[in-house]
Homo-oligomer: A and B are copies of this chain.
Amino acid sequence: MTKPIKIRDGLTIGGQQLQLLAGPCAIESRSQIEAIADYVKAYGANFLRGGAFKPRTSPYAFQGLGLEGLELMVSTAKQYDLAVITELMDVRKLEHFLALEVDIIQIGSRNMQNFDLLRALGETRVPVLLKRGMAATLDEWLNAAEYLVAGGNENIILCERGIRSFETSYRNCLDVSAVAALKQRCPFPVIVDPSHAAGKSNLVTPLAMAAVAAGADGLLIETHHNPEEALSDREQALTPLQLKALLQQADKIARTFDRHF
């Protein structure tokens, strides 16, 4: 009973086709985002992800290129005919995201219950990818989505990205039960972000496979053409070849359910 969300003509999330949303943690330069967009497109993905405004735990860590990064990303995506998904943190920046016609606005875990931000997005009709809070219950998450619905914006995509647990050998605990339960409880497509759940690249692929098998409608993956030189989250970024292999295997699993990437 998932209701597909139309992103562009001929491009939806939540239908028979699963979507791969791939790109770097942060936009670092034109050459970086072009290099990544190039192989993301070549592998058949339709979406470019990347952060211009980064929510960093410490104020002294790299905060992203900001508006300049956003413009770089949008122009690069246009060049490669990719749809853009990127994170909005500050309600005062919303007008820029709308002016630049960002295809999907991501609301990160830390802002899942930033209700004024959600209300502002509820007034628009732009598709919103709403990540689950670090320790949010499904009820809280669906209630946060309801802040968008209340304003009239039902273009909602949920994104499971791992929850807090006591285990320290991976960053978060990917909750595949949430994926399965949400598919039964609500009409919103559910995307999974195994990169942030794992926090290290060698777990990303098996988690991505688990997500597809549990019924996810797509994958949000961090990739970098040169992970060792990434300015943030380098431990979890997939190389181009790892991304390609992931997509091939994920497609095989999707096909056992009569779906495909």
Is A247 part of the contact surface with B, judged by Cβ < 8 Å? no
Docked complex Cα distance between A59 and B145 (Å) = 9
A207 within 8 A of B: yes
Contact of A212 among B57, B136, B164, B213 (CB under 8 A): B213
* A residues 72-98 touching B (CB-CB < 8 Å): 89-92
A247 vs chain B, min Cβ distance (A): 13
Give complex CA distance A17, B252 in Å: 19
Contact assessment for B180 and A206 in the assembled complex, using a CB-CB cutoff below 8 Å: yes
Residues of A within 8 A of B (CB): 55-60, 89-92, 110-116, 119, 133-140, 143-144, 146-147, 150, 162-170, 173-181, 183-184, 197-198, 202-203, 206-207, 209-215, 249, 252-253, 256-257
Partner of A134, one of B133, B143, B168: B133
Question: A59, A198, A252 — which one has the most chain B CB atoms within 10 A of its CB?
Answer: A59
Per the bound structure, the CA–CA distance linking A12 and B214 in Å amounts to 27
Smallest CB-CB A-B distances: 3 pairs: A135-B135, A213-B213, A180-B206
A166 proximity list for chain B (CB < 8 A): 135, 137, 163-166
Min CB–CB distance A224 → chain B (angstroms)? 21
Judge whether B178 and A206 touch: CB under 8 Å: no
Q: What are 8 A-to-B residue pairs whose CB atoms are below 8 Å?
A: A91-B91, A92-B92, A110-B114, A137-B166, A138-B167, A162-B177, A206-B213, A213-B214
Query: Which B residues are in CB contact (< 8 Å) with A147?
Result: 59
